[in-house]
Amino acid sequence: MLHRTKQVLRRWAGILLGRRAPGVKSSRQVEGIPGRVHLADTMFDPSDPRGIEYYLRAGRSAIDVMLGTLEEAGVAPSEIDRLLDYGCGYGRVLRHLPEAFPEASYVACDLDARAVAFCAEEFGATAVIAPEQPSRLKLPQCDLIWGGSVWTHLPEAECRELFASLSQALEPGGLLIFSFHGAFAANNLHFLFGGAFAEDSEIIRGEIQNGGMAYRSYPEAYLTLGEGSYGTSWHQPDFFRRLADAMPGLHEVRFVPQGWDAFHDVIAFRRDPLRRS
């Protein structure tokens, strides 16, 4: 609570002293969307007549799946003191968090330093720029970690490292909730992703069946990551269950096929409330 108050005060002091981040100049208010929208936010398509609706729907759906998971785990939203949006982008989800968790403080973490700076200035979050290797992540301990569409882009080694690093950043009783491309995405490659994987669909499904996941890299570099380090991934939930089995005191609390915006599967794990790492 005290931390949150300090964040709000810092934000307003910045505004009053005319020290808003340079990112805020590159953003604008869009009717119906809480908070400003950055011009570099690729999750919002202003040319689409339904762009606002899609953007809001994804943000709110993430909140719904988080709240549903907390309910299932018997945790009240007021028990969440620190909430991390991992892979926050320009805050498509983060901007809705205060509605559901008004008492919490927020941490915004992403590879994209400009996105993190924008989320810090616009939404009062603590900024953490993610390292290229998830095993090098340094995070404050959190009560709730949301990861929306991050494992959907990573190769296998990074998927494993990220799961371990985020699990270790959970407070006792804390929850890790995240999305991934599951059966719906893998079974509809003929029309999803612009049809880019249609020809390869049988092979991709075979890889998922045999190895728990499949990955196809984008042909270009992404931010500071070299070519081949970023792309599209698909997983079976068992891939993550096996990772959780190797983490003492971590238990699955929920799996929701197509739980995020009727597209991504969502899985949630909870750290044993009694165990301290």
Ligand X SMILES: C[S@@+](CC[C@H](N)C(=O)[O-])C[C@H]1O[C@@H](n2cnc3c(N)ncnc32)[C@H](O)[C@@H]1O
**Site residues for ligand X per CB under 6 A:** 43, 87-89, 92-93, 110-112, 115, 130, 134, 148-150, 153
Q: Of 14 and 34, which has the nearer Cβ to ligand X?
A: 34
Phi, psi of 199 (to 5 degrees): -65, -30
- Cβ at position 90, least distance to ligand X in Å: 7
Q: Of 80 and 150, which has the nearer Cβ to ligand X?
A: 150
CB neighbour list of residue 138: distance below 8 Å, 6 or more residues apart: 128
Q: Of 56 and 199, which has the nearer Cβ to ligand X?
A: 56
CA distances from 135 to 130, 227, 247 (A): 10, 19, 15
Closest CA relative to residue 231, chosen from 181, 270, 275, 169: 181
- Cβ at position 85, least distance to ligand X in Å: 7
Q: Of 105 and 152, which has the nearer Cβ to ligand X?
A: 152
Q: Tokens for 71?
A: 């309910």
Q: Of 55 and 269, which has the nearer Cβ to ligand X?
A: 55
CB 227 within 8 A of CB 220: yes
Amino acid at 30: V
- Cβ at position 3, least distance to ligand X in Å: 22
Q: Of 129 and 173, which has the nearer Cβ to ligand X?
A: 129
How far, in Å, CA of 113 to CA of 158, rounded?
A: 19
- Cβ at position 41, least distance to ligand X in Å: 7
In terms of DSSP H, where are the helices of 124-178? 156-168
Q: Are strands 142-147 and 170-180 parallel, antiparallel or unpaired?
A: parallel
Residue nearest to ligand X (CB): 89
Q: Of 66 and 150, which has the nearer Cβ to ligand X?
A: 150
- Cβ at position 76, least distance to ligand X in Å: 25
- Cβ at position 150, least distance to ligand X in Å: 5
- Cβ at position 2, least distance to ligand X in Å: 28
Residue carrying the six token digits 């891939």: 239
Residue 140: count other Cβ atoms within 10 Å of its Cβ: 13
Which residues pair with residue 264 across a beta bridge?
A: 260
- Cβ at position 222, least distance to ligand X in Å: 7
Q: Of 111 and 144, which has the nearer Cβ to ligand X?
A: 111
Which residues pair with residue 107 across a beta bridge?
A: 84, 126
- Tell me the helices (H) and strands (E) count for the chain, helix number first: 9, 11
CA distances from 194 to 197, 215, 217 (A): 8, 16, 15
